[in-house]
Structure 1
Amino acid sequence: MPYPLSPGGADMITVVDSANYHQSAHLLDVMYQFRHRVFVEIMKWEACRRPDGRDIDQFDGPDCIHVAALDGEAVLSYSRLLPTTRPHLQSHVYPELLQGRTAPTGPHILEWTRCAAAPWRRPNSLAADPNAGRQFLAVTEMTPALGLTGYLAQVHPTMITKLTTMGWDVEPLALPTRYDGHLVVPIHMIWTPETADATRRAFGLTGTAYDVLPHTLPAPRSHPTHYAS
């Protein structure tokens, strides 16, 4: 059954970046709590555990972009995008994943991190998660609007096939290796004109993740940008 993405749905795609970072303290706090619940409490990333129940690291400043689907104040899905022109995870946390190779960087390439959908809101464990699909589609449709060509990411090797199915041109940057007990491969995900439609097909979605999709860099704004989905 296709899941519609027409305006007026329960969840809103919300973007926090440098333009509205300082006005979004409460919203960011909700996102950090979501990240801790998913990545620490469920996925057991013990290195990220904090007594206050918030996953915050040195990259969570005004230069990164937070993309979240919200149902009221409940986070349904989330991604964090980091500029590769500054220190980021691949360059300053686990550069050894590249095994001596060099990852592409620049103003048109961001690093896609902390991507997750709330497993407690998944409607069917046997089918593709529409909340995850909306998150992938939101970032996908944002990519050309922000003048980006793609992303760096660190993923399980099985994600390469899934991302290819979603229309990304995926370039592995090194062989898979174990990091903190998990098999990980660094990749460069390149956006193509087919990526959005392929993502819709992969998750059984229709429509767009955005009510109004900007075609240029977003104008400065004082409040989080909301897009109906």
Structure 2
Amino acid sequence: MVSVHVINSVNGHLYRDELDQHYRIRRDIYIGEHKWRALVDRDGREADQFDYPGAVYLLAIDPKDGVVGGTRLLPSWKPTLLSAVFPQAASVRPMPEGPDVWEWTRFFVVKSRREEHRLSRLGGQILCSMFEYLMEEGVREMRSLAEAWWIPRIQGLGWRPRALGLPFPHDGLTLAGFSFDITQEALQSMRGIYDIDESCLVRRGLGEPLPVREDIHAI
């Protein structure tokens, strides 16, 4: 059974192999499949300036296959894609920031676990786990930069995305900045769509929910 594990700089030492596997998968997907030319292949891995202390990873781990999906969450008060690389994606200034606002990046599902014509069940498990984790941490709002086609897709999941600015072309893609609220209603909608009736979120080495602090040590 796949579980979605919360990994940060507090418990990262327990997941060194899984973190390395996830960087390799990111390389295969974003550089290999999607041909994102701005990214750098670092000895078979994809890691960037936002894999810093304070980033949180939610990795879907299968007992047999290891990492099969995941996503990355960035604290809004540190550099993010929207604030440091693509500020033109958000016309609202200043963008809100603080412990209750985070940024969603690097969502992925390995090719063998994808489904045609919809977000896979594994993808649904990851997103449900993300909402669970964020609600436990007291996060009320997320923002993101993604290809524009993501907006109608997540609307179909019960989210209510709000545009931060106009879509814009970049490197052959159409990108858009948007934000969305973390709500129990959206979580219940996703659970209904994917027939998920129990949590698969794991906090190994973290104990009870506790907001991730800015001063935690690096992995």
Question: TM-score if structure 1 supplies the norm length?
Answer: 0.82
Residues 179 and 219 of structure 1: is their aligned pair in 2 closer, same or farther, counting only changes over 3 Å? closer
Instruction: Name 1:62's counterpart in structure 2.
Output: 53
Partner Cα separation in structure 1 for residue 69 and residue 127 of structure 2: 9
The CA deviation at 1:56 is: 0.8
Q: 1:155 to 1:203 in 2, by over 3 A?
A: farther
Q: Which runs of 5+ in 2 are unaligned?
A: 214-219
Work out whether residues 101 and 174 of structure 1, in 8 Å CA contact, stay in contact via their aligned partners in 2: no
Matched with 1:117 is: 109
The runs of 4+ residues in structure 1 deviating greater than 4 Å are none
Q: Note if 1:132 corresponds to 2:117.
A: no
- 8 A Cα contact 2:113 2:120, kept in partner: no
CA contact (8 A) 1:169 1:191 kept: no
1:1-229 alignment runs, 5 A limit: 9=1, 11-72=2-63, 74-99=66-91, 101-122=93-114, 124-210=115-201, 216-217=209-210
CA distance in 2, matches of 1:63, 1:161: 30
Deviates more, 1:95-104 or 1:64-73: 95-104
Distance 1:129 1:55 in 2: 23
Q: What percent identity do the matched residue pairs reach?
A: 27
Letter in 2 for 1:108: D
CA contact (8 A) 1:15 1:68 kept: yes
The Cα of 1:32 is off from its aligned counterpart by: 0.6
The aligned amino acid for 2:105 is T
The 2-side partners of 1:114 and 1:211 are apart by 20
> What is the root-mean-square deviation in Å for CA atoms of aligned residues?
2.6
Distance 1:20 1:202, change over 3 A: same
Unaligned runs of 5+ in 1: 1-8, 221-229
What letter corresponds to residue 41 of structure 1 in structure 2? G
Equivalent-residue separation in structure 1 for 2:199 and 2:92 (angstroms):
40
